[in-house]
Structure 1
C-alpha cells in the first residue's frame, strides 16, 4: 500500500510540474502519440512550406476570433503546397494549396516551419481557417519512421473509435479499461535520450475483447535496446 501511495504522489507531482510549465513556459504539452494526434485532428496533411507568402496576423485580426473570443494569440499564416491529404479531404477538397495558421508560440519551442521543407501537419478547422497549434504534430516528413508513414496513410484511423492511449508518468500504471493501451512516458519525461518505441514503431490496436500495442519486429528490437540503455544507466 505504501508503494502505491508513493507512486501516486510521484504521478501527481509530475502532473503539477507539467501544468505549471504549461502556464509559465508555454513550451510543454501533454505527451501525445502520433495515433492520438491523427485521431483527434480535423486534418492530417503532407505539405511543402512556401515561406514567400508568409504573413503575421495580430491579436486584432477578426478572421481569427471566435464569436465570443477577445484575446486570440498571434498566428503566422503559411501558404502550403498540399502533397497528400491523409485526413480531412471533405474539409480541404481538391485544393493544391492552402493557407495554414500556426501559433507563433511554437517559434520559441523549436517549431518554426522552414522554407521548402515537407512536413506532416495535424490541426483543426476554425471559422473556415486551418490552424496548427504548438501541441499538434508538426514533423518533417523525412524524419518519420516507416511505421509512422504507414500509420498516417491508413493504419491509425482503424482504431480511433475503439482504442485509447493513456500516458503513464511513473512507469507502473495499470489500464482501467480493456480498450486502453498504457504508454510509459516516465523515461522520456526525465531523460531526453529515452527511446520512444511506441511512437516510432507501434500503434494501439484491437485484440479480441481489448486493445494492445502492435508488436512488429522493429518494435521488439527497439524495446530491447531501451531495456539495455536503462540497464547501462543504473549505477
Structure 2
C-alpha cells in the first residue's frame, strides 16, 4: 500500500490543529496582564510623560519577513515625569510604537498620560503599560506624579485573600483587587526609613478603614 497510513494522516491533522490553537491562545493571552498599583506601573516604565497625540500612521510591518505589525503615534510632550532613555524633552515631538496584537488605540488631539518600555533607539507602549487620558486620571495618581511622590526603592507586595503577607521595611502590602490603596502611594518614612502607605487627602477616610480592617498590626 503506497502513501502515508490513514492513521498517521489523522494524527498529523490533529497536531496541526492543536498547534494553531496554541498559537492563537498565545497571541491572545500573551497580551494580557494583571493590573497592579499605579506606582508599580510608574516604576516599571522606562519613560512616563503627559502628551497630546497629534498623528498616527497606518499599521506597517516592523521588520521584513516579520508578521508583527506596528502603529507609530506622534506625540507632543507637555510634561516629563520620568525618562530613563535620556531622549525626551518637554515641548518636543516624539514617536511611540505600539505593536499588534498587543497594541493600544490612542485618539488624536487627546491629552494622555503615557509610559512604557524604551531606550535611546525608540519608545514603546502596549496593553500592560500606561495609557490613560489625563482628564480621567484619579486625583491621587495625578497628585503623586505632579509632586514626585513615588519612591521606586519601595516595593509593593500583592497578597491574595488567603495569603499572609510578610512584613518588610522595604515594601507596602496590598490586598488583591482592593481599591483603597489606589488612593495612596508607598514611600519611606522620614525618620524610621520604613516603607509604608501614605494616602491622598481626598481618600483619607477610605484608606484609614482599609488599613484598620485588612492589615491590622
- Shared fold (TM-score greater than 0.5)? yes
Which among 81, 86, 95 is matched to residue 81 of structure 2?
86
Could you say what secondary structure the match of 1:183 adopts? strand
Task: Report what 1:122 is aligned to.
Answer: 115
Which among 171, 181, 194 is matched to residue 198 of structure 1?
181
**Change over 3 Å in CA distance of 1:226–1:127 after alignment to 2:** same
**Change over 3 Å in CA distance of 1:181–1:145 after alignment to 2:** same
**Alignment: residue pair count:** 184
C-alpha deviation, 1:128, in angstroms = 0.9
Stretches of structure 2 that go unaligned for 5 or more consecutive residues are 1-24, 212-217
Q: Which runs of 4+ in 1 moved over 6 A?
A: 224-227
C-alpha deviation, 1:219, in angstroms = 2.8
Task: Establish whether residue 38 from structure 1 lines up as the match of residue 20 from structure 2.
Answer: no
Q: CA–CA distance in 1 between the matches of 2:146 and 2:208?
A: 27
1:90-109 maps to which residues of 2 (within 5 A)? 90-93=86-89, 96-107=92-103
Structure number with the higher helix fraction is 1
Which among 26, 48, 51 is matched to residue 52 of structure 2?
48
Q: CA–CA distance in 1 between the matches of 2:27 and 2:164?
A: 26
Q: CA–CA distance in 1 between the matches of 2:196 and 2:208?
A: 18
Task: Establish whether residue 160 from structure 1 lines up as the match of residue 155 from structure 2.
Answer: no
**Change over 3 Å in CA distance of 1:173–1:112 after alignment to 2:** farther
**Change over 3 Å in CA distance of 1:216–1:145 after alignment to 2:** same
TM-score by length of 2: 0.71
Stretches of structure 1 that go unaligned for 5 or more consecutive residues are 1-20, 62-69, 189-194, 228-235
Residues 168-208 of structure 1, C-alpha deviation per residue, up to 9 Å, x if partnerless?
Answer: 232643135221111112xx3xxxxxx62222x21001122
Task: Establish whether residue 113 from structure 1 lines up as the match of residue 97 from structure 2.
Answer: no
**Change over 3 Å in CA distance of 1:180–1:225 after alignment to 2:** closer
Query: Which of the pair has the greater relative contact order for Cα pairs under 8 Å at 6+ separation?
Result: 1
